[in-house]
Amino acid sequence: MMAGDVGLFGPESITWKLHREPILMLGGLRSLYLQALHPRTVAGVSQNSAYRSDMWGRLARTSDYVATVIYGSTAEAEQASARLRRLHARLSGVDPRTGETFRVDDPDLLRWVHVAEVESFLTTALRAGVHLTPDEIDAYYTEQLRAAALVGLDPATVPATAAEVADYYAALHPELGLTRDGAEAALFLTVPPIPESWGGRALRLGLTLGPPRWAYLGLASTAIGLLPPWARKLYGAPGWPTTDLAAGLSARGLRTLLAAILAVLPSEYRVSPARQAAMTRAGLT
């Protein structure tokens, strides 16, 4: 018996098994590149957010929301999603291609963001060497219908298996493309600004020109390489099988490196605070 409320998923879920992998941070970056290929989605972000001046803050808030949905208590997940729905309900955008006004909480847009995110998490983990059976892969998609419901989607309208996700992408291809908003978002993701608040001219120069910048560019290029070939082609990048191979090897190497780093860190740094709190509620160490 669980000691407390373990939220939407719990320790026996494929979701917990997958999201304990630090490599999913790379999946989150891949997801953003993929999302930027939907003209209305990226227009809604561009027209309603301050990501150009607060990119790191936006990424941190998105990461916190995902962690709350995955590991928070049921009440915490519901409260976080209610805040998000209230925010989305107030926002609208203008389609840059047609001039039509649209709601940010349009189910078609919410569905695209959801599928791009969960598929990116899953694909990145698999390409990095995380082993899941075909049944576990489908189970992850099915479990994530609970997250889709939180943002206001009807779970019956959301792809729930790997085959359904593949069909969804194929059906959506005609609507996807690289717009000016998408190109600007991708550039920000690839060469992000260094916040002045991080302090110190030497630090900023090091992050801009030194090894940290090159390391981040390596992450960004791997995230792009992990995109489906059709998505890379929309960015003007090659869809070659060799690119898939190189990105997969890079992701595996990064996963190995992260495991080695975590192995020498104190125990309190090896597990995220959200996961640790969820494990405590579940009566696990």
The predicted-structure confidence for 138-154, as pLDDT tens digits, reads as follows: 999 999 999 999 999 99
Q: Tell me, what's the pLDDT at 218?
A: 87
Mean per-residue pLDDT of the chain? 89
CB neighbours of residue 136 within 10 Å: 13
Tokens of 191: 């060469």
Please report the pLDDT score of residue 174 as a whole number: 95
Terminal-residue alpha carbon distance, the chain: 15
* C-alpha span between 266 and 29 (Å, rounded): 27
Going from the C-alpha of 237 to that of each of 217, 226, 227, 230, 267, the distances in angstroms are 15, 12, 10, 9, 41
Token pair in block for residue 48: 């309603």
pLDDT higher than 70, residue 95:
yes
| Span 214-239, average pLDDT | 91
Which pLDDT value is given to residue 3?
58
Residue 114 in this model has a pLDDT that exceeds 70: yes
Q: What are the backbone angles phi and psi of residue 94, rounded to the nearest 5°?
A: -120, 125
The pTM (predicted TM-score) of the whole model is 0.91
